[in-house]
Every structure is written in C-alpha cells, then in structure tokens.
C-alpha cells in the first residue's frame, strides 16, 4: 500500500568527525559515527567489571549488569581454509589506520593477526604503524599530499575526497581465498553500503546512539522505569528537575538537529521513501533490488531496501508532491518545544556532555555505544589526569552512582507512522587501501580479505580480549567470529531497532549539503526560536519549504552539484 500524497498545506560542508568534536565529546570520548561508505564519521579506557552499571528496568539496555569482564583464556588462532583462489604473494603492507577504542592498540592482537596470515603468506611483511589520538584527518592528509604515501592501509573516510583509493566494490562478490566464500558472505557489506556503486572504506562493527542515564538520580526522583514514549520522557524530566534540581538532559544543539531530527522526522515521514526512491527508467534504478521493494512502515530495515534518489526527492519537493509545510512537522516541533525547559542552559554552545554527566550536573545524555566502556572505568577508578580532563577538582568526591541506558522514546499520536527507530551506524576499524600499483593492490586486498573474515578477525578479537583492551562498538559485521562471553553479554543486550539515520530523514543537517549552508543556518535559527517560544512551530515548515524550493533552490543545486534539468529528469545521470 502506498502512502497518500503529502501536500496538507501549500505555502558536506562539515565532516562527521568535526560534528562530533563540536558536539562536545572532547576528552570523554571522541566517538565518530560514520554515515556512508565515502563519508567521514572512543572510548579511551579499558573495560573493567561493570559492577557500578546495572541494567535498565525496562526496554533494551546497552549496559547489562551480568556482563562481568573476566580474564580471557588464550586461544589458538583459527586455521583458515585456503582455496584454489589463493596465490602466494610477497611484498610489504604498512598499516596506518586510526585506532578507535582504548588509548593504546593491542600489540598482541596485531601479532596474532600477523602470525595467522603468515601461515599462508610468509613472504608478505606486515608493518603496524597504527595512529592514536591527535588529528588523524590532518595526519592522513599530509601523507596523501606527499605524492607517494608511505601507508598502504588507512582509515580512508578521514580524507574522503582523495581520488586514489582502491574501489573495493569490485571485490565484494569475489571469492575470499581463505574461506572459499564470497567476501560479502564473510563481511556484512549491506549494513553500511547496501546499494553503493563505489566503496573505499570498510567497517567491522555496528554502533548506535543510546541515552545514558544516572540511575541514582532516577531513584531520587521516584522514576521507576525508563521512558519509552515522549510523554513519559517529559514526565521523567519534570520529576528529575523538580525533585533533585539537576538538569535532566545534557545535550548540544547538533545532537538534537542531527540525531533527533533523523529519529523523529522518520517517525512522521517514513512514507517519504516512496518519493525518494529510484523508479523504473531512472539512471540508478536497480531491478534486482527495486523491483522487489514493498513499502512497509513496520519494516525496521525499510530504508535499506530501495535505491535512494536525491533527484526524485528534490523533484517531488519542488513540484509539491511532498512538503515540509505539513501538520506532521508542526507536531514534531511542538514536541521539541516541550522538551526545551529540560536542556542545559548552554544548549547552543559547545559542551562536553559526558563530563557534565560524570560531574553529576545532568541526569541523561546521548552518545554512541562505546561510551559504555568509558563509564565502566570512570565510575570505578580514575587517576588525577583523568579527573582533570573531566573537570573534577582533585579533592572532589569520586563519581559514585549507577548508570544505564535506554532507547530513543517514541513520539505518539495520530500523525505518527511508526515507533522510533534508532541511530545505527558503523564503527570498529575503518579500513581502506591506497591505490599504488596493480601488484600492490593485489597484496593489500588479499590481506583485507583475510583480516575482515573469520580467518583474521577471530585472532584479532582474541588478541584484543586477552590484552583487556577491546572496546567493541556493537555487533560485529565480520561474520562467524566468536566473541568472548564478557563482551557478548554487553553487545547482545542491544536490540537493533532499525536505522533512522538514512535518507531522506536528515532534514536539518545532512540531506541537502549539511552544516554551514545558508538554509541550514536559517533553519537552525528558526529551531532556536521554536525552542525559545518566540516562533510558532507551525511557521517552521512553510518557511523551510520555501527556503529549499524557492529562496535557495539554485544554491542548493549548486551545493549538490546538480542541475535543474537533471533533477527534473531522474533518468539522467548527474555529471558528479
């Protein structure tokens, strides 16, 4: 069943990494959530026993109390099964990816992976020059600008515009010489690149954005269960503010505008997929996928099952088939305005939300899954340097409270299409190869196939676990790898809800050029006024629709490198 036509009322400027820095993650955790195979998207501590972090009373939780880390017994690296596709290779691979997770990479994991690979390729030298801390994007840019970069494998998403990366899409269905299966059967390409025609970065783990909360403050406020609906959330916030005097939510404007915008726009406008997908005759229509597409708003993976067409979306916006000037947008922003009194007073400034939480100045904050591991250390032990980094006085009492997590509460009402989905992206290791020579590429891709399959990722995980340095960001995208129980208990507690971080849901931040565009700046100011109570929520939609389709239409097309003719004729392939 197709949705009704929407016309109720007629009337990457910045990288994900930079966004996360602005969102106030600072010393607490420079978590970076990528959004696509060519887009730019850590908990710097070890994971001791989470005795201070109980499970939430209701709803899926990212922090189960049963996940008690213990010593992991040593295991032998699994023996791969070489096939006729395996060739004997030689050469050198310099690995200079950015390390995500604890403060130091695991030398044991590196050695175990190297040893496992050398069982089959003894003449390939593996050189580990993994980068930690600092500004990896700048470092990588310097390497690439050298003309002949020293590194071979890097985290390519930190310099996405470089034009000499290996396109890995052609290897997606190739036989992995160490498993005898297609590489796509060893690594879940579909999770992060379901319809990509070009891939230069691979990821190893899922991740998501959870709401972490101070369970002790919830108890003091008489809150007996985590909120699952918007109305329940408002009630929780009111009780916390009234009974404890603590700010309920530590948040930054871009957390609301990106993550909140995606989650809640999706609730009201999930049917826009029918106006933003490629149709027969369009240049990017994929019969294998799109012929089978059925609009089902209850399908949590709906947005993975069609080919997105920005041309179709813009054409339908311009022609009025869909519009932001609808009652749905008014309802969404009315709800946001009700939440405004519970945000930190410096909501419109860059803040370290994690530090506010640790300091006891807020009861809740949103951040990605690896924050769980950071909390395990910080709520158990903290040295002077860490205390200083988090803004705690040397003589102040150590943080002493329980913490847990919950999912994004759902808005409800007759205009809502479905329950809230989450922000689910990919993380773990980000890996890609610099294209130097055909012979070099053959060696680099061979090692990537080994590493990103059970043959190599099992010893990698085992080494990290044995060194007690692993901080997984979520479920593994490398299939059939056995995760030590102390980590599996935590990872398995997170139940995927589906990903709202998908086109066309990023209406305020990423769909049309991103942060820094004129229409984004104006829309941000309107949101500010809505939250302040000086702009009627009903005024936002018509003004935003007019900005996109009239005032800044030509600028928008230029930002997206599209022409009017290409937008109005989706059968034409854009030049860029």
397 class by beta-carbon count within 10 Å (0-12 exposed, 13-18 middle, 19+ buried): exposed
Task: Give percent of the chain above pLDDT 70.
Answer: 84
**Residue 427, pLDDT score:** 87
Tell whether pTM > 0.85.
no
Say whether pLDDT at 78 is over 90.
Answer: no
Q: Quick check: 310 pLDDT over 50?
A: yes
Burial label for 294, CB within 10 Å (0-12, 13-18, 19+), is: exposed
For the beta carbon of residue 462, count every other beta carbon within 10 angstroms: 28
Distance CA 495, CA 449 (A): 28
Q: What value does the mean pLDDT take over residues 473-479?
A: 94
The SS3 of residue 43 is: coil
What is the pLDDT, as a whole number, of residue 102?
63
CB 322 within 8 A of CB 272: yes
For residue 511, what pLDDT is reported?
66
pLDDT at 509: 65
| pLDDT confidence band for 383 (50 / 70 / 90) | confident
- Please tell me what DSSP assigns to residue 535: S
| Residue 334 clears pLDDT 80, i.e. is over it | yes
- Statement: residue 36 has pLDDT above 80: no
Instruction: Tell me: cis bond preceding 153? Omega within 30 of 0 counts.
Output: no
**Could you tell me if 86 and 177 are in contact, meaning their C-beta atoms sit under 8 angstroms apart?**
yes
Q: What is residue 37's predicted lDDT score, i.e. its pLDDT? A: 28
Task: Look over the chain and give the mean of its residue pLDDT values, rounded to a whole number.
Answer: 85
Predicted confidence at residue 342, as pLDDT, reads 98
Cα angle 27-33-36, degrees, rounded to a multiple of 5: 155
DSSP type of residue 562:
-
* pLDDT tens for each residue of 157-211: 999 889 999 999 999 999 999 999 999 999 999 887 776 778 999 999 998 999 9
Average pLDDT over residues 362-375: 92
Asked if residue 16 has pLDDT above 80, the reply is no
For range 494-500, the mean pLDDT: 87
Stretch 317-323: mean pLDDT? 97
For residues 322 and 73, which has the higher predicted lDDT (pLDDT)? Answer: 322
Stretch 456-468: mean pLDDT: 96
The whole-number average pLDDT for the span 432-446 is: 97
Q: What per-residue string of b and e applies to 201-224 under the rule 16 or more CB within 10 Å gives b?
A: bbbbbbbbbbbbbbbebbeebebe
């Amino acid at each position: 069943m197709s949705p009704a036509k929407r016309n109720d009322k007629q009337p990457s400027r910045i990288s994900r990494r930079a966004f996360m820095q602005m969102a106030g993650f600072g010393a607490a955790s420079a978590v970076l959530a990528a959004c696509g195979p060519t887009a730019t998207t850590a908990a710097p501590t070890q994971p001791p026993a989470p005795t201070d972090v109980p499970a939430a009373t209701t709803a899926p939780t990212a922090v189960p109390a049963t996940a008690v880390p213990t010593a992991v017994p040593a295991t032998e690296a699994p023996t791969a099964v070489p096939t006729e596709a395996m060739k004997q290779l030689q050469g050198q691979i310099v690995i200079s990816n950015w390390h995500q997770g604890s403060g130091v990479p695991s030398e044991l994991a590196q050695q175990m992976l190297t040893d496992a690979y050398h069982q089959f390729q003894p003449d390939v030298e593996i050189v580990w020059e993994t980068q930690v801390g600092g500004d990896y994007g700048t470092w990588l840019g310097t390497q690439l600008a050298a003309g002949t970069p020293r590194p071979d494998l890097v985290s390519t998403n930190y310099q996405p515009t470089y034009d000499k990366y290996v396109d890995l899409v052609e290897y997606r269905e190739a036989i992995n010489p160490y498993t005898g299966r297609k590489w796509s059967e060893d690594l879940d390409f579909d999770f992060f690149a379901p319809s990509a025609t070009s891939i230069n970065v691979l990821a190893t783990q899922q991740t998501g954005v959870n709401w972490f909360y101070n369970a002790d403050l919830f108890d003091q406020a008489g809150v007996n269960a985590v909120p699952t609906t918007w109305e329940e959330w408002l009630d929780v916030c009111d009780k916390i503010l009234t009974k404890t005097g603590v700010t309920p939510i530590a948040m930054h404007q871009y957390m609301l505008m990106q993550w909140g915008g995606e989650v809640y726009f999706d609730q009201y406008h999930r049917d826009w997929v029918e106006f933003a997908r490629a149709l027969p005759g369009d240049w990017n229509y994929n019969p294998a996928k799109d012929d089978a597409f059925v609009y089902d708003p209850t399908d949590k993976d709906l947005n993975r099952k069609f080919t997105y067409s920005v041309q179709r979306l813009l054409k339908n916006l311009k022609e009025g088939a869909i519009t932001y000037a609808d009652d749905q947008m008014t309802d969404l922003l009315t709800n946001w305005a009700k939440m405004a009194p519970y945000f930190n007073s410096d909501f419109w400034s860059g803040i370290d939300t994690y530090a506010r939480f640790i300091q006891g100045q807020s009861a809740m904050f949103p951040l990605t899954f690896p924050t769980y591991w950071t909390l395990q250390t910080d709520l158990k032990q903290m040295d002077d340097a860490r205390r200083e980094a988090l803004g705690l006085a040397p003589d102040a009492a150590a943080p002493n409270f329980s913490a847990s997590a919950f999912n994004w509460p759902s808005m409800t009402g007759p205009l809502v299409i479905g329950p809230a989905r989450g922000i689910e992206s990919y993380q773990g290791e980000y890996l890609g190869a610099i294209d130097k020579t055909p012979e070099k590429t053959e060696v680099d891709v061979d090692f990537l196939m080994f590493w990103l399959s059970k043959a190599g990722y099992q010893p990698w995980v085992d080494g990290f676990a044995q060194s007690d340095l692993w901080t997984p960001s979520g479920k593994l995208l490398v299939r059939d790898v056995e995760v030590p129980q102390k980590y599996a208990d935590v990872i398995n507690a997170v139940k995927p809800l589906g990903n709202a971080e998908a086109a066309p849901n990023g209406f305020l931040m990423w769909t049309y050029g991103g942060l820094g565009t004129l229409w984004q700046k104006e829309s941000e100011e309107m949101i500010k006024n809505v939250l302040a109570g000086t702009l009627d929520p009903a005024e936002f939609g018509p003004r935003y629709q007019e900005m996109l389709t009239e005032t800044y239409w030509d600028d928008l097309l230029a930002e997206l490198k599209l022409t009017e003719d290409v937008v109005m004729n989706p059968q034409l392939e854009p030049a860029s």
